[in-house]
């Protein structure tokens, strides 16, 4: 079969998932004939753009808080409303591309504009929607009792990001039953071949990934409190002039260097994006996560990681305590679950 990918470009998780799925499909005689990556007007292109996308399109995105440790939901909502004509143009353009493409099916990685473009193409081609966000609609996940307004917004967002889908593929840390009435099919995380084929090594450094660059100050304080440890920190951007301790090394996101550091680390600390959590658990790395301020999706990711026994959740990066050296208790079963991904996805996407 021929597939067309539409990928949310915010962060790195959905892009790496698309690379993993494309590899699986091509390995089994299928092909991805076109791919579209969401981008925004304020930030530079995703560093994996050339590897995954034939074209880009404009899609909604988050605006950061002033301290760059999270997002400002209010200004994000207003700014994206202001840009809605641009998104409408992208929907129309994607609908045209989908309708006249040679693809047999469409796969959307949690992008509202992409999903609506596929829906309004009226092409008759089956659409599959993939994300960990969809697992929040499964009864195995328990919504946090607080932040009800954000919960409602996330539910609306997930509905729009799956409207018209034949199947909703919910990435999950654990194997759970499908929910046919909701079209929800629980599937394993999509991890890159570099992770699946890696032989984990236990080094002496702590691998740190922060989606929000403002966390570097907290990591710096932690490094000063632990001068006997080496910290390798990976950021999407970094402000010159910040004084850092000698045991902290900062790098920009780069596939090979990031994966090498992750694989050889003693433990991992990161913001609560699903993909990095899943990669760390697969490599049997003790894991501590911090939720980006105002980021309800990451808040739910952290709650789900606790449910699955995958990670410790910290209030701050410099709040780490005893027990971080322990292995993740679900790792053995998790590896078996992840290793079944190829068969599970092929069954979901070809039947």
219 and 265, same domain (yes or no): yes
**Do 284 and 145 sit in the same domain of this protein?**
no
Q: What is the pLDDT of residues 123-138, one digit of tens each?
A: 999 999 999 999 999 9
Instruction: Identify the pLDDT of residue 212.
Output: 86
Mean predicted confidence (pLDDT) in 246-267: 90
| Judgement on whether residues 183 and 270 belong to the same structural domain of the protein | no
The reported pLDDT for the residue numbered 48 is 56
Does 226 share its domain with 173?
no
Same domain, 13 and 42: yes
What pLDDT does 322 receive? Answer: 46
Are 301 and 343 members of one domain? no
Rounded to the nearest angstrom, the gap between the alpha carbon of residue 185 and the centroid of all alpha carbons in its chain is: 18
> Are 181 and 217 members of one domain?
no
CB 160 within 8 A of CB 112: yes
Tell me: the pLDDT tens digits for 78-91? 999 999 999 999 99
Q: With helix as H, strand as E and coil as C, how does 170-184 read?
A: EECCCCCCCEHHHCE
Are 162 and 283 found together in one domain?
no
At residue 47, does pLDDT exceed 90? no
- Mean pLDDT on 47-71: 79
- Triad 131, 133, 136: Cα angle to 5°: 135
Parent domain of 14? 2-190+339-350
Q: What are the tens digits of pLDDT across the range 149-184?
A: 999 999 999 999 999 999 999 999 999 999 999 999
Are 219 and 87 contained in the same domain?
A: no
DSSP annotation of 54: S
Same domain, 173 and 27: yes
CATH number for the domain including 215? 3.40.50.2000
Do residues 223 and 249 share a domain? yes
Q: Are residues 149 and 70 in the same domain?
A: yes
Name the more confident of 11 and 347: 347
Tell me the whole-structure pTM to 2 decimals.
Answer: 0.92
> What does the pLDDT read at residue 253?
80
pLDDT tens per residue across span 300-334? 999 999 888 888 899 999 887 544 445 555 556 89
Total number of domains in the chain: 2
For the chain, what is the total number of helices (H) and then of strands (E)? 13, 13
């Amino acid at each position: 079969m021929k597939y067309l990918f539409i990928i949310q470009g915010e962060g790195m998780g959905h892009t790496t998932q698309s690379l993993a799925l494309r590899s699986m499909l091509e390995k089994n005689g299928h092909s991805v004939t076109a791919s579209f990556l969401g981008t925004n007007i304020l930030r530079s292109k995703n560093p994996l753009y050339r590897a995954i996308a034939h074209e880009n399109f404009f899609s909604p995105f988050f605006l950061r808080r002033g301290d760059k440790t999270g997002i400002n939901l209010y200004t994000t909502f207003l700014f994206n409303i202001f840009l809605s004509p641009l998104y409408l143009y992208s929907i129309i353009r994607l609908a045209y591309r989908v309708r006249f493409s040679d693809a047999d099916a469409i796969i959307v990685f949690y992008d509202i504009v992409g999903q609506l473009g596929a829906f309004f193409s009226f092409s008759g081609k089956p659409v599959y929607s993939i994300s960990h966000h969809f697992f929040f609609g499964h009864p195995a996940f328990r919504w946090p009792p607080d932040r009800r307004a954000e919960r409602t917004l996330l539910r609306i967002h997930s509905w729009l990001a799956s409207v018209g889908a034949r199947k909703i593929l919910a990435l999950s840390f654990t194997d759970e039953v499908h929910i046919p009435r909701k079209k929800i099919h629980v599937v394993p995380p999509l991890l890159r071949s570099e992770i699946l084929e890696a032989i984990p090594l236990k080094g002496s450094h702590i691998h740190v990934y922060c989606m929000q660059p403002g966390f570097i100050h907290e990591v710096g304080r932690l490094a000063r409190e632990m001068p006997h440890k080496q910290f390798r920190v990976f950021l999407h951007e970094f402000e010159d002039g910040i004084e850092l301790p000698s045991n902290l090394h900062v790098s920009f996101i780069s596939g090979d260097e990031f994966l090498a550091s992750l694989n050889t680390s003693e433990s991992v600390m990161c913001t609560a994006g699903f993909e990095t959590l899943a990669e760390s658990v697969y490599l049997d790395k003790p894991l501590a996560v911090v939720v980006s301020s105002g980021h309800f999706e990451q808040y739910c990711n952290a709650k789900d990681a606790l449910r699955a026994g995958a990670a410790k959740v910290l209030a701050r990066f410099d709040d780490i305590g005893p027990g971080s050296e322990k292995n993740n208790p679900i790792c053995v079963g998790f590896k078996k679950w992840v290793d079944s991904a190829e068969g599970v996805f092929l069954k979901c996407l070809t039947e």
